[in-house]
Amino acid sequence: MDYHHIVRQPIFNRQRQLHSYELLLRRAPLPDMDEPPPDITEEAMLRPKGPHKLATTLDMTAGLPAMIQFDTAELLEMAPLSIPKKQLIVRVASSVRPTSDVINALIKICNRGYQLAVHLPNDPTWEPIYPLLSYVLVNLKTDSQEAIVALKAQLDESGVNYQSMAIGVDSYKHFVQAKKLGFSLFQGTFFSRPQGHNPIDLTPQQEKLVQLICECSKPAADLLLMSSIIETDRAITERLIKYVNSPAFLRGNPIENLTQALVYLGEDEVKRFATVIAVGQLNDSKPAELLRLAITRARFCELLAKEQNNTVDPARAFLVGLFSTLDAVMDAQLTELLQRLSLNTDVRQALIDHKGMMAGYLAVVSTMEKGSWARLKTALDRLKVPEESLVRMYKDAIQWANAYERDK
């Protein structure tokens, strides 16, 4: 393995549907907080070189295109050609300067049918590749309004057929503003944050789901009660049967009814599955990626607990990861939601007070999602977790979450 870490960040369209993922890869070990910033050859986001090695990262995108940054050396080596054009969006790294060699390399790459993404190319020397642009990236936090307007006018005048992508969209307010400005794609943490904090006013269906979540969260759950709740919810029943017949379980004869599924999975797996599906159905107006993020965090925290093999119950660590986005799911205060779910013990301590080992697990996965490598190193050091195991656990968490894919 020639890279140390890999994470993905979703890219959404105007309907908050998933368009693609950007993959952030790092070849070097994690830096310490007091280390100087890396230079161009050791920048924070580095890609592995070589056709087969780079292509192996694409199992992280579940079949969607991967936006990957390439530096000057990789572009001159024509590294993007090692990945099928339908699977890749070539993003030019910010360190790349528009020399004649780079321009010629980009022209050759685009002539092969690859899509090209560049961050606000307001340097006039980039003009030869304007007709080749598929995506123009704009950072809402750092790019000036004047530069954005000027470039847009220039591209529109030249007839370039491109999509504008806003990055750094970290709240729904920013998402709405970016839509009004005409952006078609959006990247940031806005989808995992609440749109507001509304009073908890549950529908009868949500009440039933909350009851199921509460029961599943108990160490000694009432299986008959769980079964009766699941049985009255056709959607959960169908998802449960579909899940147990998925490739995640190597089995011969298909399972056809709820009773068979419950017996086959066992108490712990049923509780975990039912909790995940119930959380996902609490508010189906939210983007599917929000539930996918919650499940990935849940599995990652569970794996961390198992890796450490200490006093932390992996099942409780799973709940901490899963409920870390509950405020965004319900657009309500997390403290009130946990109280409604009768979760006022170790889960609350981790999510609200940010104390305890499980809070540390959540710190690891959240800093990893952002590609905050130095902070990730600090979080790992506090837990005494070996850096080498993170890639394996993160990939496992993503693949495991895909088995719970929500139809939407």
Q: All domains of the chain, ordered by start, with CATH? A: 5-191 (3.20.20.450), 204-402 (1.10.3210.10)
Look at residue 334 and tell me whether its pLDDT is greater than 50: yes
What pLDDT band is residue 61 in, cutting at 50, 70 and 90? confident
Cβ count near 256 (within 10 Å): 10
Residue 267 per-residue DSSP state: H
Residue 166 CB neighbours (<10 A): 26
Q: Pick from 193-202, 289-298, 303-312 the range whose average pLDDT is largest.
A: 289-298
Res 221: pLDDT: 76
Task: Identify the bridge partners of residue 92 per DSSP, sorted by sequence position.
Answer: 70
- Matching residue, tokens 């609440």: 194
Of 240, 270, 264, 239, residue with least CA distance to 251: 264
Percent with pLDDT over 70 in the chain: 90
pLDDT for the residue 3: 59
pLDDT tens-place string over residues 345-395: 889 999 999 999 999 999 999 999 998 888 898 998 888 888 888 888 998
Integer angstrom CA distances of residue 214 from 32, 178, 208, 271, 297 = 41, 38, 10, 10, 20
Q: Which residue has the tokens 């298909």?
A: 254
pLDDT at residue 1 in the model? 33
Q: Which of 163, 93, 102, 162 is nearest to 128 (CA)?
A: 102
Q: Is the pLDDT of residue 38 over 50?
A: no
If 0-12 CB within 10 Å is exposed, 13-18 middle and 19+ buried, where does residue 196 land? exposed
- pLDDT above 60 for 127: yes
pLDDT over threshold 80, residue 56: no
The predicted structure's pLDDT at residue 406: 46
Residue 188 pLDDT > 80: yes
Category of 211 on φ-ψ map: left (φ > 0), alpha (ψ -120 to 50) or beta:
alpha
42 pLDDT exceeds 60?
Answer: no
Q: What per-residue confidence (pLDDT) applies to 391?
A: 82
Angle at 401 between CA 249 and CA 328, to 5 degrees: 150
pLDDT band at 185 (very low <50, low <70, confident <90, very high): very high
| Amino acid in the structure at residue 298 | A
Q: How confident is the model at residue 33 (pLDDT cuts 50, 70, 90)?
A: low
Q: How far apart are the first and last CA of the chain?
A: 35
Segment 210-262, tens digit of pLDDT: 988 888 888 777 778 888 888 888 888 888 888 888 776 766 788 888 888 88
What pLDDT, on a 0 to 100 scale, did the predictor assign at position 112?
Answer: 96
β-pair type (163-167, 135-139): parallel
Angstrom distance (rounded) from CA 12 to CA 19: 5
pLDDT attached to residue 251 = 66
pLDDT of residue 44: 32
Residues 6+ apart with CB under 8 A from 341: 210, 213, 214, 217, 323
Query: Is pLDDT at 51 greater than 50 in this prediction?
Result: no
Q: What is the mean pLDDT of the chain?
A: 85
pLDDT greater at residue 359 or residue 269 = 359
Q: Give 234 or 134, the one with higher predicted confidence.
A: 134
